[in-house]
Amino acid sequence: MRIWLRVTPDRARRWMADLAAACLAVGASVRLVETPGRPAPRLLALALELDRLIVRRGRPSGADPIAAAEIAPQPDAEHRPDLVLDLTEGDAAAPLPAGARLWRLAFDGHPGEDALVAALAAGRAPLVTVVDGDGAVLERARPSLERAHGLGEALATVGARTTHLLAVRLAAEIAGRPRPVAPDLALDAPAERSPLRAVAATLAHDLARTVARLVFATPHWRVGWRRVDGPGLVDGAGFATPFRPLPDAGTRFHADPFPVIWQGETVVFVEDFDHATDRGRISVVPFGPDGPTGPARPIVEEPWHLSYPFPVVVDGVLHLMPESTARRDLGLYRCIAFPDRWERVATLVDDAVVSDASLVEWAGRWWMFATDEDGLGGWSDMLTIRSAPSVYGPWRRHALDPVLIDAAAARPAGCPWVADGRLFRPVQDCLAGYGRAVTVAEVTRLDDDGFTQVPRRRIAPGPHWPGGRLHTVNRAGTLEVIDGAVLRPRLRALDPLIEPWFRPRGGAR
């Protein structure tokens, strides 16, 4: 496939060169066509330069301006395009070469960088769409900005996800493989705010974060538990029965709770994070009818960070599949003596940064939902799916990976389940920041050729679970567990002043 990239010269940026390279990587030949158009506002150039100098301290990013010639060579007489990819503001009525198709890039429904910056200046990512010459939407994505610090990194992050989105679509086109369009993903219109105000807001946030880290151990997560006989959170029962926080020492926190009933015992496996070493291990908390019967005790500890201890039964034996992104793999641990002794027995995924991997057996096979990180965009917006004949593998990536790019509905938030022949999965809503809420999604299609899911219910924190975050929901029998974030002062004498602000305040629906 031969591609022309239409770019307004003074809006050429580093991420566009990465896009050209990604097109080459999937088998296309790429040429650059410089197209006159609306110049970038001087205010934007000033804001990005201040961001580069003050916020990024000179670090390069995909938002940096480059010469248009660095993106790709110009076409010669022999390079007639099959596809024209328009990255301009859409105000240049350039003729389309004979026989070529047109794809336009839009942000919140509007072409060009100005619409992208308007969303970023308002503090959120835009809805990214790829539309054809007739205005039909080919691709949709809601990128995550959780790792983007400042306006420049946010612009680069959206550029990276846009690049990934276009590359996946092109690969499908070249292979002749149908790729379904993601469902409509609505966003509120961005509030009016100048790029300079966005830079100022970043600096103010930096100051507040620095002060907060001096006073508080942050981030600090906590686990909540309750006993329920009937419907729970995922069924729409709400918080009528209040959750009780699991105590922690303050120097460590617990997160990612997974309850298990095994051999007549009930336990909760958790991430057990040490603020001093900045590393997590897997611990277990024993439970009785009235709550914990003992403190958390470590069961799996490695030289690298561990979290999200997903439990799975294989051939009648209990296993754990904890996240190990720092090692760039996903290991499986077999229980030797419940619940304290475990041994690593397999590597299910190698050379990949796989977050919150969750398994379910469906239609005679095992399926793994996870978010993969590519080092460029966020870590919670690209849903990947793998399948295998058994938990031990071999695991094969879905042909349409990533099947979804959506900060609000990609990252797993606990165990999937099947009810009345229907498949459900809890997902993290990271649209306004990492782990802000959990959505129950019904998977309406899952096979080798496609995937679709429909959001059914959103579960958010509030007075019933204070702290502004809720990112895991699980249940075993009558024991239901969640987690969230709170403030823990470094000076323990301040605990009596801070803790009441994060105490659950009764039940609510």
State yes or no: pLDDT of 506 exceeds 80: no
To the nearest whole number, what is the mean pLDDT of the chain? 93
CB atoms within 10 A of CB 28: 20
CB 409 within 8 A of CB 425: no
Residue type, 90: G
Collapsing DSSP to helix, strand or coil, 185 comes out as coil
- How many Å apart are CA 174 and CA 83, to the nearest integer? 12
Burial of 255 by CB count in 10 Å (0-12 exposed, 13-18 middle, 19+ buried)?
Answer: buried
Residue 154's pLDDT band (boundaries 50, 70, 90)?
very high
> pLDDT value at position 190?
61
CB 333 within 8 A of CB 317: no
- How many Å apart are CA 296 and CA 286, to the nearest integer? 8
Note if the pTM is more than 0.95.
Answer: no
Residue 198's pLDDT band (boundaries 50, 70, 90)?
confident
Give the pair of three-digit tokens for residue 489: 């002062």
> pLDDT value at position 415?
98
State yes or no: pLDDT of 345 exceeds 60: yes
Residue 2's pLDDT band (boundaries 50, 70, 90)?
very high
Between β-strands 417-419 and 137-141, what pairing exists: parallel, antiparallel or unpaired? unpaired
> pLDDT value at position 333?
98
> pLDDT value at position 455?
95
Give the pair of three-digit tokens for residue 163: 């690049």
- How many Å apart are CA 85 and CA 3, to the nearest integer? 7
Rounded alpha-carbon distances, angstroms, from residue 10 to 39, 426, 486 = 6, 44, 45
Give the pair of three-digit tokens for residue 344: 């690593």
**Residues 155-166 pLDDT 10s:** 999 999 999 999
Burial of 194 by CB count in 10 Å (0-12 exposed, 13-18 middle, 19+ buried)?
Answer: middle
Q: In the chain, what percentage of residues exceed pLDDT 90?
A: 80
> pLDDT value at position 92?
65
Burial of 405 by CB count in 10 Å (0-12 exposed, 13-18 middle, 19+ buried)?
Answer: buried
> pLDDT value at position 37?
87
Number of residues in the chain = 509
User: CB within 8 A of 477, min separation 6: which ones?
Assistant: 259, 261, 266
**Residues 201-238 pLDDT 10s:** 888 988 888 888 889 998 999 999 999 999 999 999 99
Complete DSSP assignment for 251-266: SEEEEEEEEEEETTEE
Better-scored residue on pLDDT, 17 or 123: 17
Q: In angstroms, what is the C-alpha Rg of the chain? A: 24
Which of these, 151, 119, 131, lies nearest to 48 by C-alpha position?
151
- How many Å apart are CA 385 and CA 383, to the nearest integer? 7
State yes or no: pLDDT of 182 exceeds 50: yes
Which of these, 437, 504, 507, lies nearest to 246 by C-alpha position?
504
- How many Å apart are CA 267 and CA 476, to the nearest integer? 9
State yes or no: pLDDT of 131 exceeds 60: yes
- How many Å apart are CA 200 and CA 462, to the nearest integer? 29
- How many Å apart are CA 277 and CA 270, to the nearest integer? 17
> pLDDT value at position 95?
84
- How many Å apart are CA 509 and CA 507, to the nearest integer? 7
Residue 509's pLDDT band (boundaries 50, 70, 90)?
very low
Residue with tokens 């041994």, as numbered in its chain: 343
SS3 content of the chain, % helix, strand, coil (to 5): 20, 40, 40
Which residues in 359-395 are b (16+ Cβ under 10 Å) and which e? bbeeeeebbbbbbbbeebbbbbbbbbbbbbeebebeb
Residue type, 107: F
When pLDDT is averaged across residues 149-175 and rounded to a whole number, the result is 94
The β-bridge partners of 270 are: 283
Residue 66's pLDDT band (boundaries 50, 70, 90)?
very high
The DSSP symbol for 494 reads G
**Residues 364-373 pLDDT 10s:** 999 999 999 9
Collapsing DSSP to helix, strand or coil, 502 comes out as helix
When pLDDT is averaged across residues 32-44 and rounded to a whole number, the result is 91
State yes or no: pLDDT of 316 exceeds 70: yes
- Which DSSP helix (H) or strand (E) runs through 121? helix 113-121
- How many Å apart are CA 8 and CA 33, to the nearest integer? 9
Q: What phi, psi does 500 have (nearest 5°)? A: -60, -25
The β-bridge partners of 225 are: 244, 481
> pLDDT value at position 147?
87
When pLDDT is averaged across residues 115-135 and rounded to a whole number, the result is 92
**Residues 73-112 pLDDT 10s:** 999 988 999 999 999 998 766 789 999 999 999 999 999 9
Q: What phi, psi does 99 have (nearest 5°)? A: 85, -5
Better-scored residue on pLDDT, 72 or 187: 72
Better-scored residue on pLDDT, 187 or 442: 442
State yes or no: pLDDT of 188 exceeds 70: no
> pLDDT value at position 151?
94
On the CB side of 223, CA atoms within 13 Å amount to: 33
CB 488 within 8 A of CB 249: no
CB atoms within 10 A of CB 208: 10
